[in-house]
Chains A and B, each alone.
Chain A
C-alpha cells in the first residue's frame, strides 16, 4: 500500500506539471487569418497580415499590418512589435502572393509553409494582380474582415467547382510531381468588391501566363473529373448546324449545368508524345435561344454535336496556350510517367517534350434533361 502511495503522488505531480507549458489563451492572441507576400522596397519580403483580435466584451478587432524583412518569420516578429497580442498562425486560411513575387519563385514560400507544423495543409493559395498590400489595406465599405471574406469567397467558389482548387496540399503535391505544374486562382479588387479574375499558370515555381476567369471551366474539365458547375459558351456561326436554326444569326449563346464529366487520357505515341483525351460530359440545358425546340430529339442531337465541336476547339486552344509557355497544369506528364516504363522523367525533360506534345480531344457531350418548361 505504501508503494502504491508513492506512485500515486508522482502521477498527481506530473499531471499538475503539465499545466506549465506555453499557453495560448484566445483573449491574448491575435489570430492571423490571411497573409499576403509582396516584394519589398528595401528588404526582401514585404508581408501584409490580417490579424483578428478576439475580444469577449466588444466586437472583434481586425488589423491589417504590413512589415518588411528578410524572412517571413522575421516579419512575424516585426508585426508582433506593433500589436498588443501575440500573433499565432494556426488559424491561417489564405496565403496570397503579389504578382511580382509569383513571377519570381514560389519554391521558398511553399517549403516554408510546409515546414511549419502549425500551418494547416488545407489553406488556400492565390495570386493577386498587382500588390497584395494594396488589396488588403483598402477600406471596403461592406467588408468587415477582409481575411475571412477572401477565405469564404475562395471556399465558396472552389466547393461549387467554379474555380480550380488550390489548397496548400494540392499545390505542394503538383509542385513536387515530375509531370505536372501548378495553377492558382487570381484575385483582384474591383472597386468595393474582391473578385476572382483568372487562373495563373506556373512553370515550376514561376508564374508565366494567365487564363481569363471564363476559361476556368475548361481548365477544370481538362484537369480532372468534375461534378458540378455552370458554364456558358457561345456557338459561332460555322458551328451551328443548319438543322437547328432557320434564320441566320452570327452567334448563339447557350448555358449548361454540367452534372458530371469524366476525363480519360491515353498515351498513343510515347515518342512525340501524343495523347488521346476523351471527355464524357453529362449536362442539363439551362438557357438556349427560344427558337430552338428542345422537345425534338433531332434538334437535341444537333445541339449536342455543336457543343461538342465547340468544346473540343476551346480545349485544344487552352492546351496550346499552356504548351506555348511550357506549363503542364493538366498532368499529361504524369500520365506519360505512369505509362512508359523506365522513362526516368524529370521536370526539365518533360517541359521540353511538352512543347511538341500533340493531343486529340474527343468530347462526348450529352444533354440529360432540360428544365420544367420546353
Chain B
C-alpha cells in the first residue's frame, strides 16, 4: 500500500507502553469535575452512566484496532487518504488536526482556569499558558519516545493520589445511591454521552499504531488501559455520589478537587493545593500527545517540519488562550467540544470501519475478477 509508514526500529516503542500512553491521554482535566456534568442527566445513577461510557470505549477501540489491522502499518491520516482519495482524505485529515488542536486548547485552558480559581487568582492567563507551552515544546522536541516516557512517568508518579480517595469515605453514606436505577434509561444514556469529554483520548492509538513494535499485543494493552481508566472513573464517581448530597454535587464545579479539600495532614493543611499543582504532571502527556497527533497529521498533509509546525501551533493556541477568559466561555467550549468529540470519537470510527470493510470486499472481488480474465 502506497501511504503506509516505514519507521526505523530505533524510533519504535513496545506495545506494553501503549497501556501508559492510552491511560495518560484519557485522564486529564475532565476528571476534575465530570461528576457534576453526568449527575445533571443521570442523577444518582450516574455511576451506571460511567460504566456504560467505559463499555462504549471498549467497543470503539475494538473497531479502531480492527481498521488499523486491515491496513497493516498505517495511521488514520494514511487510511483517510487511501479510502477517500487525496483531496477528500486530506479534508478529513484537516478536520482531525483541528480536533486535536481544540482538544489541546481545551485541556490547557481548563487547567489554567483551575489554577487561577484555586491558587493564584492574580496570575495572568498568558503567563501560565506560555509557561506550559514552553515545557510542552521542550518535551515535543525530544520526539515520540520522550513523549511516551513522559506518559509513563506521569502515571507512575501520580499513582499515590488514588489512595487519597479513602479519606472522604469517612463522610460517605451508601444510602445516597438507593434506589438504584430510579432514573429512566434515556437519562442514563444521556449521562454516558456527557462522559465523552472526560473519557476521550484513546483515539491516540489511531495515530500511534504504526510506531508500535509488536503490533499483535496492542489490542490487549489498549483494553487493559481502558479498563483501568473506567475503574478509576467509577471509583471517583462512587465516592463523590456518596460524599456529596444531591444539591451540593450539582453546585460543585470541581467535585474531585473539593473532595480533596477535606484532607489535611499535620505537615500539610490543604491537600488539594498540592494536588492541583501536581496535576500539571498528569496533563503534560495529555498535551504532548495531542500536539504530536496534530503534527503527524500536518506532516502527512503538507510535509511540514516538526520545529516549524510546533511554533505555529503553539502561537495559535497561545493567542486563543488569551481571548477566552470567563468561566461561562470555557464551560461553553467544554460542552460544545464534548459534543463534537462524541461524534468524532464514538460514532465516526464505526462508520470508517464499515467503509473500509466494504471497500476491501469490493477490491478483493475486483482482483479476483482480474485474475480470472
B-contacting residues of A (Cβ < 8 Å)?
3, 7, 10-11, 14, 17-18, 21-22, 90-91, 114, 117, 120-122, 169-170, 172-178, 180, 334-335, 338-342
Contacts and interface: CB of A to CB of B under 8 A. Distances in A.
16 contacts: A7-B134, A10-B134, A14-B135, A21-B122, A22-B122, A117-B261, A120-B269, A122-B264, A169-B171, A173-B245, A176-B248, A176-B250, A178-B246, A338-B175, A338-B177, A341-B182
Nearest to B130: A14
A352 to B, nearest CB: 19
Contacts of A91: 269
Contact of B261 (A11, A121, A170): A121
A7 B141 contact: yes
Nearest to B118: A117
A14 B251 contact: no
Nearest to B254: A117
A90 B269 contact: yes
B123 interface: yes
Interface in B153-186: 171, 173, 175-179, 182
Nearest to B262: A121
A90 B130 CA distance: 29
Given A10-B134, A176-B245, A177-B247, A122 B262 contact: yes
A153 B127 CA distance: 45
Contacts of B251: 114, 176
B335 interface: no
Contacts of B177: 338
A7 B245 contact: no
B134 A173 contact: no
A209 to B, nearest CB: 22
A177 B178 contact: no
A339 B178 contact: yes
B258 interface: yes
- Summarize A's interface: helix, strand, loop or mixed: helix
Nearest to B260: A121
Contacts of B246: 176-178
B122 A174 contact: no
A342 B182 contact: yes
A254 to B, nearest CB: 32
Q: Which 6 A-B pairs have the closest CB atoms?
A: A176-B247, A338-B178, A177-B245, A176-B248, A173-B245, A117-B118
Interface residues of B, number: 34
A339 B247 CA distance: 19
- Summarize B's interface: helix, strand, loop or mixed: helix
A338 B176 contact: yes
Given A122-B264, A338-B176, A338-B178, A7 B138 contact: yes
A90 B118 CA distance: 12
Contacts of B130: 14
A120 B182 contact: no
A169 B262 contact: yes
Contacts of A176: 244-248, 250-251
A170 B171 contact: yes
A17 B123 CA distance: 11
Given A117-B117, A121-B258, A338-B178, 10 more contacts: A3-B141, A10-B138, A14-B130, A14-B131, A122-B264, A175-B247, A176-B244, A176-B247, A339-B179, A340-B179
B248 A172 contact: yes
B269 to A, nearest CB: 7
Nearest to A344: B182
Contacts of B264: 120, 122
Nearest to B263: A122
Contacts of A22: 120, 122
B270 interface: yes
Interface string B330-352: 00000000000000000000000
Contacts of A177: 245-248
Contacts of A338: 175-179
Interface in B245-288: 245-248, 250-251, 258, 261-262, 264, 269-270
A18 B177 CA distance: 44
A167 B101 CA distance: 44
Contacts of A117: 117-118, 261
B134 to A, nearest CB: 5
A253 B250 CA distance: 49
